[in-house]
Amino acid sequence: MKLLTGFAIALALMPAAAMANDTTAQLGTGGLAFVANEDIEMASEDLSISPTQVKVVYKFHNKSDQDQHILVAFPMPDIQGDGDFMVGIPTEDPENIFGFQTTFNGKPVDAVLHQYAFANNIDYSEELKKLGIPLAPYGQETLAALNALSDADKATLTSQGLVIPMEYGSGDSTQVDTTPMWTLRSTYSWEATFEAGKDADVVHTYKPSIGGTVIATFMPSSDDNNTYSDEQLTAYQKKYCVDDDLIAAIKKQGTTTDGYTQYPFTESWISYIWSTGNNWFGPIGKFSLTVDKGDEANLVSFCGEGVKKIGPTSFQMTATDWSPPYENELEILLLVKNDWQQ
């Protein structure tokens, strides 16, 4: 499918919890994955995305005359440790940071969480567990456990590329913290039986990771810079289908003082990874994408076809016999109106 049109619409948005002076990165999440099976087809998928929840309602169909016992998985995005960790983490639960929940034919699923800590493509999960280090490469609990290690253990982890020492302050107030640098890889899994010739309903919900910046980075900021940054605008046009209508809507609300133009919006981003689910038979029979609307002062831009307003707070795209554009994941640019910038 070729994505053709971009659009700017109003969308309710809560400010990103981890917003800082620079940039907060988002973690891209997607749908279910399971071992490729030519007998299982997706009859329908209803995907709803808002800043507070992603909800996916699937209807799978077993077209064979035999029950299919399938290992189903929900792959989580990798989380990379960093000296300046600026990633939007939706919840404070290190074992379920997205608040992930799922049901199979209306019954809650007790999924198993698999987590691994990698550095230089080597699995150090057991080594960290033996030292009492949480596998999440962020958060106060992990930092406290690392800093409580002996100098010998810290040196070993440093030599393995798992941590780095970071110095803060100056003079007598200097402090050295042991900072996690490993990558956390996580997947939820469970086994499900798709009965012969029948449909199976799968519903899962989670909280999205929201990244962003404190300004609209693709807008001109001064009278002597009336053109956009070609590189930034081109990237946004490709990734989010930013169009002239969106640019005009933002410029209309800009205020200029002493030659500097300020726009009362912050950027936020949500990513949805289509390609995690490319493992069932054939295209999706019926597909719908719904974006929830709220405050009309906020704007959103993303790539899509045939988007229609279906109510005072929602917009929807529908398709039949649809295959996701696996070469282009769903990227949503949210522009949040902020009174404090006026």
Q: What is the pLDDT of residue 16?
A: 33
Residue 147 lies in a domain: no
Identify the CATH number of the domain in which residue 77 sits: 2.60.40.3680
Amino acid at 289: L
Q: How many domains does the chain have?
A: 1
Supply the pLDDT for residue 46.
93
Q: Is 168 contained in some domain?
A: no
Structural domain span for residue 252: 5-124+182-341
- What does the pLDDT look like over 170-217, one tens digit per residue? 666 778 889 999 998 888 888 889 999 999 999 988 888 788 787 778
Encode pLDDT of 81-93 as tens digits. Answer: 887 766 677 777 7
How many Å apart are CA 42 and CA 28, to the nearest integer? 22
End-to-end CA distance of the chain: 41
| DSSP 8-state code for residue 161 | T
- Partnered with residue 255 across adjacent β-strands are 262
Question: Residue 270's Cα: distance from chain center in Å?
Answer: 5
Check residue 173 and give its pLDDT. Answer: 73
Determine, yes or no, domain membership for 336.
yes
Find where tokens 């999205």 sit: 208
Q: Assess if residue 74 is contained within a domain.
A: yes
Q: Is 15 left (phi over 0), alpha (psi -120 to 50) or beta?
A: beta
**pLDDT given for residue 88 in this prediction:** 73
Asked whether residue 141 is assigned to any structural domain, the reply reads no
**Cβ atoms of 307 and 26 closer than 8 Å:** no
Q: Is residue 172 part of a domain?
A: no
For residue 40, what is the DSSP state? E
**Residue holding tokens 């230089």?**
120
* Percent of the chain residues past pLDDT 70, beyond the cut: 80
- Both tokens of 102, joined, read 């799922």
Query: Please, which pLDDT band fits residue 224 given cuts at 50, 70 and 90?
Result: low
Is the residue at 312 inside a domain? yes
Residue 121: what pLDDT? 92
The answer to whether position 112 is within a domain reads yes
